[in-house]
Each structure stands twice: as structure tokens, then as C-alpha cells.
Structure 1
Amino acid sequence: MIHLSPMDLDGHTFLTVSVKLPKTNLLVVTNDQGYIMCGALDVQLLNDKLKDRNIIAGRAVGVKTIDELLESPLESVTVGAEKLGIHKGMIGKDALLKMI
């Protein structure tokens, strides 16, 4: 099952995406600038193989819901995210607010 829904965060609209997969969930919160995602995100691939795209993204591991993704510290972030002041250990919702 796939669930898409808009989310307001301090007056800014983001899109939440939840995909129920066997034995896991794929979770993303995104806007036009970037996104945060569950552990399925390969930050190293984005930084190495796709670095010319300057992707703004962060990854939180061990999360099972969108709420957990928003409240959990990011385990890793892309170089593009670092340029915006997003860093490892930052809470997901704080990282999203840097993407506006």
C-alpha cells in the first residue's frame, strides 16, 4: 500500500510518502528542495555517484513511521544538505525547515 499526504510544518507544505513493503516500510518527507528518508536511502551513493546533482537529503535509521522520521536524528546527510546547514544528528523536522 502507498500513502501520500500533504503535511504542514511551520506553515510550509511537505509531502509525506509511506510505502508498505514486506517486513519494512519506505518513508519519505519531501518538498521541491530536498527530502529526508528512512534507512533505505543510500547517502554514500548520492555523494559519490550522483554528486554533480547536488542532491539535498538526509537519512534516519530505525524509524517505522513518518512521526518517528520527523523526530529522529539524521544518521547521515548529503554534501548538498551540509551546504544548507543540515548535519548528522539534526532532528528530521529541523532539517526539513532548512530546505525551505
Structure 2
Amino acid sequence: MVSTETLSIQGYFFKAVTVRLPKTTLLTISNDVGYIMCGALDVGLLNSKLADRKIIAGRAVGVKTIEQLLKAPLESITLEAEQLGIVNGMIGEEALLKMI
């Protein structure tokens, strides 16, 4: 099952997507600039094989809901996200606000 919702964070809008799969749930929150995602995101791949795409993204692990993703510290980020001032340990909501 796939569900989507629009989130407002300090007046900025983001799209949250939840994909329920057997034994796991994929979570993303994004805008036109970048996104944060649950542990399924392979940041290493984005930084190496897909580096030419300049993807702005961060990954939080151990989250099971969109609300948890917003509050969780990012475990890893892409090099492009780092250039926006996003750092490991920053909570998801703060990282999203750097993507505006």
C-alpha cells in the first residue's frame, strides 16, 4: 500500500510518501530540491555511482513512521547535502528546512 501526504514545516511544503512492503516500510519526505528517507536509502551509491546526478539526500535508520523520520537524526548524508549545511546527526526536519 502506498500513501502520500503533504507536510507543512514552517510554511514550506513537502511530500511524504509511505510504501508498506512485506516486513518493512519505505519512508520519504521530499521537495523539488532533495529528500530524506529511511534506512533503505543507499547513500554510498548516491555518492559514488550516481555522483554526477548531484542528489541532495539524507538517511535516518530505525524509523517506522513519517513522524519518526522528521524527528530522527540523520545517520548519513550525500556530499551534495553537506554543501547545503546538512550534517550527520541533524534531525530530519532541520535538514528539510536546509533544502528550501
Segments of 5+ residues of structure 1 without an aligned counterpart are: none
Segments of 5+ residues of structure 2 without an aligned counterpart are: none
TM-score norm. by structure 1 comes to 0.99
Q: Percent identity?
A: 64
For residue 29 of structure 1, report the CA deviation from its aligned partner. Answer: 0.1
- 2:38 maps to what in 1? 38
d(CA) in 2 for partners of 1:63, 1:13: 21
Query: In the TM superposition, what are the counterparts of 1:14-93 in structure 2 within 5 Å?
Result: 14-93=14-93
Match status 1:11 vs 2:11: yes
For residue 88 of structure 1, report the CA deviation from its aligned partner. Answer: 0.5
For residue 91 of structure 1, report the CA deviation from its aligned partner. Answer: 0.3
TM-score norm. by structure 2 comes to 0.99
For residue 59 of structure 1, report the CA deviation from its aligned partner. Answer: 0.1
d(CA) in 1 for partners of 2:10, 2:80: 23
Q: After TM superposition, where is structure 1 displaced by more than 3 Å over at least 4 residues in a row?
A: none
